[in-house]
Structure 1
């Protein structure tokens, strides 16, 4: 007769944990309450190795931006010592205050590793406030042990990055699920970028694809 109460007490913490886990993993629309910002081609500035034509590192077909880079490529300008990149910088929507949000659908083919595929540029303690990187099929926040999503190769995933400048806070949603909620890197002139930007331990070729790019603000 005493087994059932003991079993109940044993299972209760597990039930509470599962309920908390599933509640925290709820899918939401992070854009609710935000206002859509108008974007056109003039806002999309392509940065690529300075010594090659755009079409050798970038393609846009049927609404999909395709970027690729090699670790031996040059920087995006002759006087820069940064790593090679092929990225789009969202221009004319730089900001220094308020709450801004990037939304887009990303795709990373298998084999791509050691690369930043999306970033919030600008900060006081770092050149960037946020970076989403890919290492061996996992999407990470910078090169921390904080894995945002595993097994991202060869599938489309939704990215929402919300930057609250005044609160110095960055939230990252993947497929509508909050994966990171933490401090940024301070004030600065900020803007969004997406594509491929080589980092440490880069693969022989780095590629990402993006579609349905939007910017929101409050």
Structure 2
């Protein structure tokens, strides 16, 4: 075997090993994406309609802190939905292409039955993706397990929605954790915060977020 071929073979093996290592031990999900410029106007707050914002939200040292109680009112007097305090990524609605949400989240021990991130909109139904925390575990709606042991720690959440392939992919700390078919096209946008589930919720619910970014694949 000549030396040139031997070097190429070794390089190929090493490259394949590195690729597997990156996928399992913390890849960069934003590779190949372009960051969308964000301003304060892109962060639209939703909170119980009868309470001042500062009683359910704070922004200190780059950290968005959002909390809600189980007996709070919905975000609108005409709404019959559960209470929420959420950031709705405004002005970034999409209906085609490949989009990505990235943010560092923190959920304190005790928060349970709360949606902390979602893709709102679908061909049928209100949402494409719901990520809920139950007893420190993240679940797809109240079903499939996405991640465990998330209480009292900062974690990096990446959600990729590929409408061309009809797929949604979730990464935690750069590790591929979950993938599911989407629910068709619609007026879609990302949200994060706390939104009470229909049942089995804690009285107090809170999440914190920092370094929120939106990416698009061009």
Fold conserved (TM > 0.5)? yes
Return the alpha-carbon distance in structure 1 between the equivalents of residues 177 and 165 of structure 2: 18
Over aligned residue pairs, what C-alpha RMSD do you find? 1.3
Please state if 1:155 is matched with 2:146.
Answer: no
Shift of residue 140, structure 1, vs aligned partner: 1.2
Answer yes or no: is 1:63 the counterpart of 2:62.
yes
Gaps of 5+ in 2: 1-19
Aligned ranges for residues 143-182 of structure 1 at < 5 Å?
A: 143-144=142-143, 146-182=144-180
Which residue of the partner structure matches residue 196 of structure 2?
A: 198
Give unpaired runs (5+ residues) of structure 1: 1-20
* Structure 1 outlier segments of 4+, above 6 Å: none
In structure 1, what is the Cα distance between the partners aligned to 2:167 and 2:192?
A: 20
Partner of 1:6: none
Q: Aligned residue for 1:98? A: 97
TM-superposition CA deviations, 1:168-214 (whole Å, max 9, x none): 11000001000112201111000010000000211010000000000
Cα separation, 1, equivalents of 2:51 and 2:140: 30
Give the equivalent residue in structure 1 for 2:79. Answer: 80
Q: Does 163-172 or 94-103 show the bigger shift?
A: 163-172
Deviation of residue 22 (structure 1)? 7.0
Provide TM-score, normalisation by structure 1.
0.88
Counterpart CA distance in 2 for 1:125 and 1:156 is 33
Higher deviation after alignment, 22-31 or 118-127: 22-31
Number of residue pairs matched? 197
Does residue 212 (structure 1) correspond to residue 211 (structure 2)? The answer is yes
Specify the alignment match of 1:16 in structure 2. Answer: none
Shift of 1:97: 0.4
